């Protein structure tokens, strides 16, 4: 069964709305009432959204191009640890230290922002790290300068850009 483009657009818009309403804590029934549809339709939308943001098992770590970003999900929130293996020197089991991970629901707005940050080929992980470091650094500066109390998120109003300078072309050495 194929879906007409108008139907696909309407479905995509409804699913985006469902994701936003779900993020606010509304129940399936409340969302259905607000959208004028059935709770079963809303349930199918949430299931489709979950499938759309799941990481395929065979996905590699290369940065996706912007249209493919919808298929990217953050790693599972369970610490990864390797199997205990005997140490060569002591013959006692040692475990690989657990690495904390983070799971964030990928709502349409977050996906759009992530697509923007990865448009130039940056991996999602690197883009998130850079954005988080930028905001955290700005917060620290505002708190340390006493502009905001430490229990208040500073408002970032202005940005400063360094002018782009293309790299100089390499000259052939003869």
| Within a domain: 113 | yes
Per-residue pLDDT, 144: 92
Residue written as tokens 């993020």?
23
**Nearest in space to 76 (alpha carbons), one of 58, 53, 97, 93:** 53
d(CA 172, CA 45): 58
Domain of residue 20, residue span: 1-56
| Within a domain: 169 | no
| Within a domain: 46 | yes
| CA distances in angstroms from 2 to 8, 28, 40, 43, listed in the order given | 10, 27, 21, 21
Local structure of residue 102 (DSSP, 8 states): -
Predicted model pTM:
0.42
Q: Which residues pair with 80 in a beta bridge?
A: 99
| Within a domain: 6 | yes
| Within a domain: 166 | no
pLDDT (tens digit per residue) in 91-105 = 555 555 667 777 888
| Within a domain: 130 | yes
| Within a domain: 81 | no
pLDDT (tens digit per residue) in 99-122 = 777 788 888 888 888 888 888 888
pLDDT over 90 at 36, yes or no: yes
pLDDT (tens digit per residue) in 69-95 = 444 433 333 344 445 555 555 555 555
pLDDT (tens digit per residue) in 138-171 = 889 989 999 889 889 889 888 788 888 888 887 7
- Looking at the structure of the chain, the number of domains it has is 2
| Within a domain: 151 | yes
pLDDT over 90 at 54, yes or no: no
């Amino acid at each position: 069964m194929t879906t007409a483009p108008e139907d696909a657009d309407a479905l995509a818009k409804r699913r985006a709305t469902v994701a936003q309403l779900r993020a606010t804590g509304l129940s399936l029934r409340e969302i259905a009432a607000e959208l004028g549809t059935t709770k079963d339709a809303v349930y199918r939308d949430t299931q489709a959204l979950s499938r759309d943001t799941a990481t395929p098992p065979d996905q590699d770590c290369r940065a996706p191009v912007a249209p493919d970003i919808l298929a990217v999900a953050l790693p599972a929130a369970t610490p990864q640890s390797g199997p205990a293996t005997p140490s060569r020197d002591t013959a006692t089991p040692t475990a690989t230290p657990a690495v904390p991970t983070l799971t964030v629901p990928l709502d349409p707005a977050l996906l759009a922002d992530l697509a923007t940050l990865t448009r130039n080929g940056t991996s999602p992980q690197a883009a998130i790290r850079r954005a988080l470091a930028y905001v955290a650094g700005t917060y620290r500066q505002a708190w340390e300068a006493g502009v905001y109390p430490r229990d208040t998120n500073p408002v970032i109003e202005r940005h400063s850009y360094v002018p782009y300078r293309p790299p100089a072309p390499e000259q052939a050495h003869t």
